[in-house]
Amino acid sequence: MHTKLESSSQWTLAELFDSLPDVQFWIKDASHLYLYANRALLMNYGLTERAYLAGKTDYDFSPPFLADQFWLDDEQVLRAVRVVNRIELLRGSSEPPRLWNE
């Protein structure tokens, strides 16, 4: 959290997504491990700190039938294939899975 106005060069693109409460944003490596997630994604999984994502994949936070699809989508992205027009089922930390239309 920034306590004073800083030059725009000190802000990363990823940090900007923290100001969008309805947008879940994350970065994973080629092994599907989370490297970064914004506050909205952390809240969705009931997490309070990004450190809890370290070394984790979707299989640590979602049922296998959801994690399998996320894994396949990640593989598409890694091959530079755009994933569009997808309706995703998301699971919140304290709620049943729900549809998400990207």
Q: What is the pLDDT of residues 35-56, one digit of tens each?
A: 989 998 998 888 999 999 988 9
Assigned domain for 73 exists: yes
**What CATH number did the domain enclosing 80 receive?**
3.30.450
Assigned domain for 2 exists: no
pLDDT at residue 99 is higher than 80:
no
Phi, psi of 60 (to 5 degrees): -80, -15
Q: What is the pTM of this model?
A: 0.73
Assigned domain for 3 exists: no
Looking at the structure of the chain, the number of domains it has is 1
Helix ranges (H only) for the chain are 13-16, 39-44, 64-78
Write the DSSP assignment of 88-99 as a string of letters.
EEE--TTS--EE
Q: What is the pLDDT of residues 55-72, one digit of tens each?
A: 899 999 888 988 999 999
Assigned domain for 1 exists: no
Cα dihedral 55, 60, 65, 69, rounded to 10, equals: -30
What confidence score (pLDDT) does residue 57 get?
Answer: 96
Give the residue numbers spanning the domain of 24: 8-101
